[in-house]
Structure 1
Amino acid sequence: MITIPETDLVVHPLCLGSNIFGSNADEAQSHAVMDAYSAHAGNFIDTADMYNQWVEGHVGGESESVIGSWMKKCNNRQSMVIATKVSKMDKRPGLSAKNIFAACEESLNRLQTDYIDLYYSHADDETVALEETLGAYAQLIAQGKVRYIAASNFTPARLRESIKFSEDNNIPAYVAVQDLYNLVDRKTYEGEMSQAVSDLGISNIPFYGIARGFLTGKYRPGVTEVDSKRAAGAREYATDKNYAVLTVMDEVAKNHNASLAAVALAWLRAQPSVSVPIASARTVEQVEEIIQVVELSKEEVEKLNGVSA
């Protein structure tokens, strides 16, 4: 288990993503995935109020509702660490205090709980003063409705400014970021953002840890059909350079008798500013691929760094 820096949240080394719960995976499939994750001592699930508003006939909140029904069925809320997000839901946009309070209540209702362990600003909102946004979070924390706050999709400058404001005003500060980061998509995070995260003593809980499925190794030169709802997104990574990354991952996976997905997630854990990577699963079989925790040697990390740089 891992303690997320700047918190007392003790979590499994894999955070289970839930952006497909209630859509690509229906309620029964989603419950089966969470059952399998929990059976491996998994206790950290990531969602957002806007999941899955992009699916026809959906309005957002479906993922939270599925997680809520599962926790009620299992009576396991106390043993779970639940992260959700505010600001990108079509009917609850932005980070005004009024919106944060309303969105939080709605998330609590859907999750069938009275507190959120980690509550993210899903995107920055520069139209609202930091005093208002962070003051609203401080109130929710004081009321016991939120334990910790975090930021997703911020610029390094705004992250630093936000945390400095919290520190200067003695109110709760963002304890983590959730930013895109994986072996074949390093440029977005590495550099200024990873430096800011390290300087601030917090950590990244990265999403797309297995690059929408590309890093499972299912997508190879000449493979035309893959049974995945995410195939189109994963194919964006289909380049000669990234196929070379898979070749090195094949060697490493063989050394550890592990899946390629497990190697991809192990590489993320080996990065100094990462605490816990996120990966999602549509089936129990996919849970088995991502749940194995592998420890890479320094040489293996360096080899993967070199081929993916």
Structure 2
Amino acid sequence: MTDLAASTDRVRFGASALEIAPLALGGNVFGWTADRDASFAVLDAFTAGGGNFIDTADGYSHWVPGHTGGESEAIIGEWIAARGNREDVVVATKVSTKPDRAGLSPENIRAAVDESLARLGVERIDLYYAHFDDESVPLADTAGAFSELVDAGKIAEIGISNYSPERIDDWFSVVDALGLHRPVALQPHYNLLERGFEGPLRERAERHGLAVFPYFGLAKGFLAGKYRSAEDAAVEGASPRAAAAVGYLERGGDRVLAALDEIAAAQRVPVAAVSLAWLRRQPTIAAPIASARTIEQLPALLASLRVDLTAGELAALDAASRTA
């Protein structure tokens, strides 16, 4: 695999001191579609290829029969301990979806962060997200609990995920009024086929200085060119997300794939690399998030770090995706 470490520029996001390569490795597959050994191999290859930012959540992967959540964090923690590389990686995790740690009450946040720290085997989480809004809890309580974690040295920075524009404004109104630590990151659903972010949410990111880390950057694999027909989703070994991914064909996804194919051929890179490079070039984006369940999937993701799309290529992708 090409070593991009020397050529990959680090970016510092928001007001934080955290420096990352502009690609985040999604940890949702660890302990789910990638077992411990496969996860270790992916993590090794990602860092060898220049990546250093890993994104997970305490709820991953509670949806798997027999799982309770925390499986992904535990694998990442075992890998960090085995490699002794804590200072070389930036780790983000989230709270609110683990079934026995659901919601964003201060008591739950305090208990959940300690459990995440233990599973990850770290003294401090670099970026800690409120995974989903919990309107049953006053925002002053939630924001206050997150701010306390910064003061306690348990987290370095605060992030918000899956919040509405109005609730983002409310969070900042609270922290400004109370003198609390401000969030520095936003994690929304955003890719070439899901462009709802490009409106009030992006305006809030700009207004509040939030670095944006979009999830489902490859639209569940569709924007990697993996699923071009219903038959592709039915082959043995296909991802559990394949059936949902091929649904994009009914939404004009074939036109987006055609544009991606042309640019990928011209750039001599995989389709996934072009999809992620487009995302990285959008306003407010610090790094797209993409996951890999095998090391064979990783080179295409890492290749995005060296793709420099032309103005014409960006315009072609924009046009194709707006008609999708």
Q: Please report the TM-score for the alignment, with normalisation by the length of structure 1.
A: 0.97
Confirm whether residue 216 of structure 1 aligns to residue 224 of structure 2: yes
Instruction: Name whichever of 275-284 and 164-173 sits farther off.
Output: 164-173
Number of equivalenced pairs: 308
> Please, what is the CA RMSD of the aligned residues?
1.2
Letter in 2 for 1:247: A
Letter in 2 for 1:209: G
* Aligned counterparts of 1:47 and 1:56: Cα–Cα separation in 2: 19
Secondary structure at the residue paired with 2:195? coil
Q: Percent identity?
A: 44
- How far the C-alpha of 1:233 sits from its partner, in A, is 2.3
Distance 1:222 1:103, change over 3 A: closer
The equivalent position to 2:175 in structure 1, one of 166, 188, 197, is 166
Match of 1:299 in 2: 312
* Aligned counterparts of 1:302 and 1:94: Cα–Cα separation in 2: 41
- How far the C-alpha of 1:169 sits from its partner, in A, is 1.8
- The unaligned stretches of length 5 or more in structure 1 are none
Secondary structure at the residue paired with 1:236? helix
Match of 1:140 in 2: 149
Secondary structure at the residue paired with 2:269? coil
Match of 2:276 in 1: 265
The equivalent position to 2:202 in structure 1, one of 174, 185, 194, is 194
- The unaligned stretches of length 5 or more in structure 2 are 1-9
* Aligned counterparts of 1:114 and 1:140: Cα–Cα separation in 2: 12
Match of 1:90 in 2: 99
Confirm whether residue 242 of structure 1 aligns to residue 215 of structure 2: no
1:98-177 matches, cutoff 5 A: 98-177=107-186
* Aligned counterparts of 2:63 and 2:30: Cα–Cα separation in 1: 13
Please list the CA deviations of residues 265-293 of structure 1 after superposition, one character each: whole Å capped at 9, or x if unmatched. 11111111211100000111111111111
Match of 1:232 in 2: 243
* Aligned counterparts of 1:160 and 1:295: Cα–Cα separation in 2: 34
- How far the C-alpha of 1:193 sits from its partner, in A, is 0.8
* Aligned counterparts of 1:262 and 1:100: Cα–Cα separation in 2: 36
* Aligned counterparts of 1:34 and 1:3: Cα–Cα separation in 2: 22
Match of 1:61 in 2: 70
- How far the C-alpha of 1:298 sits from its partner, in A, is 1.3
* Aligned counterparts of 2:113 and 2:22: Cα–Cα separation in 1: 26
Secondary structure at the residue paired with 1:184? coil
Match of 1:80 in 2: 89
Q: Please report the TM-score for the alignment, with normalisation by the length of structure 2.
A: 0.92
Match of 2:288 in 1: 277
- How far the C-alpha of 1:236 sits from its partner, in A, is 2.2
* Aligned counterparts of 1:142 and 1:203: Cα–Cα separation in 2: 21
- How far the C-alpha of 1:228 sits from its partner, in A, is 2.4
Please list the CA deviations of residues 36-93 of structure 1 after superposition, one character each: whole Å capped at 9, or x if unmatched. 0010121100000000000001000000000000000000111110000001111101
Confirm whether residue 178 of structure 1 aligns to residue 192 of structure 2: no
Secondary structure at the residue paired with 2:248? coil
Instruction: Name whichever of 283-292 and 232-241 sits farther off.
Output: 232-241
Match of 1:256 in 2: 267
Please list the CA deviations of residues 160-192 of structure 1 after superposition, one character each: whole Å capped at 9, or x if unmatched. 1101211222211111111100001112x1211
